[in-house]
Amino acid sequence: MSDIEGVINLHREGTMATASLNSARIAAERARADGVSVELTLVLDRSDAVTREVAKGFAARSGARVHEVDYGDLAESRNHAVRCGDAAWCGFLDADDLWSANWLLAAWRLGCSAGPRTICHPAWNVIFGTKQMLFPQIDQLDRRFSRRGLETNNYWTALSFAPRAIYLEFPYRPNRLDLGFGFEDWAWNLQTVDGGCVHRAVPETSHFIRYKASDSLRDATSGRGCLRTPADLDRIAARFAAGRSRDTGDRHVEAGP
């Protein structure tokens, strides 16, 4: 069993994924040089041919595991990797983003020292691409953190690092944009805070997050006016399906005057 599993989620990033995969490899090598065992897992969810070729070429060179799935949802893809692996800790990376070279080692060190209910985030997010921004991520132990604030503003991205046991205890709720629900990372952050986990910002680390003008799940979710995924989404979806079935059934139509 490895100490860390680095999970890279791929979709249709094409050759753009090369930089992300290399950043994961460099972070893994940095941790291994310090005696920490790391395995990399690539989860391809409805990927195109170019992305698949890039991923499999990287896996052949690095020894990374490859899982091909058909969820069409990042939440389910992350849950799949958690269920299939056995490393003590997991860290997630989207295949158009980058880890800082020290990320895995620094997060593992903080997590081990802070305890088994710790969820780690980088201290800084560096947005690049069609938008450029720099913003910090708050530490839950900071006096500025508030549970009420988390209700209205998502403090942390989905590129977290935590014990596998936490991801098994609190699996990501699937997005249902067709029902008007998304932001699975925000819902997960609230769920884990309420479940007694503590979100920590790892000093001197950063994630580089690519902002694209098109094909952005964030923009698609916001553009639909989606709400944060609720805990009882399955019940809501079942009621919606039942109502739609009734609406498409036979109707008695009264004759007009």
Q: Is residue 67 part of a domain?
A: yes
**Could you give the CA distance from residue 242 to residue 190 in angstroms, rounded to a whole number?**
29
Report if residue 117 sits inside a domain: yes
Domain CATH number, residue 173: 3.90.550.10
Q: Given a cut of 60, is residue 24 above it in pLDDT?
A: yes
| 209 band by pLDDT with thresholds 50, 70 and 90 | very high
- On the question of pLDDT at 252 being above 50, the answer is no
Residue range 82-103: average pLDDT? Answer: 97
Domain assignment of residue 253, yes or no:
no
252 located within any domain: no
Mean residue pLDDT of the chain comes to 86
| Higher pLDDT pick, 99 / 226 | 99
Q: Which domain holds residue 12?
A: 4-246
Determine the pLDDT at residue 249.
Answer: 52
Rg of the chain on CA atoms, in Å: 20
Residue 14 lies in a domain: yes
Mean pLDDT to the nearest integer, 110-120: 98
For 28-75, how does the pLDDT look when each residue is reduced to its tens digit (9 = 90+)? 999 999 999 999 999 999 999 999 999 999 999 999 999 999 999 999
Q: For residue 90, is it within any domain? A: yes
pLDDT score at 184: 85
> How many other CB atoms are found less than 10 A from the CB of residue 61?
10
Task: Specify if 68 maps to a domain.
Answer: yes
Are 44 and 70 contacting, i.e. CB atoms less than 8 angstroms apart? Answer: no
**71 lies in some domain:** yes
Confidence of residue 119 (pLDDT cuts 50, 70, 90): very high
Residue 200 neighbours by CB under 8 Å, 6+ apart: 110, 111, 114, 118, 119, 120, 121, 139, 140, 141
pTM more than 0.85: no
pLDDT at 232: 45
Tell how far CA 88 is from the center of its chain: 18
What's the number of domains the chain is made of? 1
Q: What is the pLDDT, as a whole number, of residue 214?
A: 56
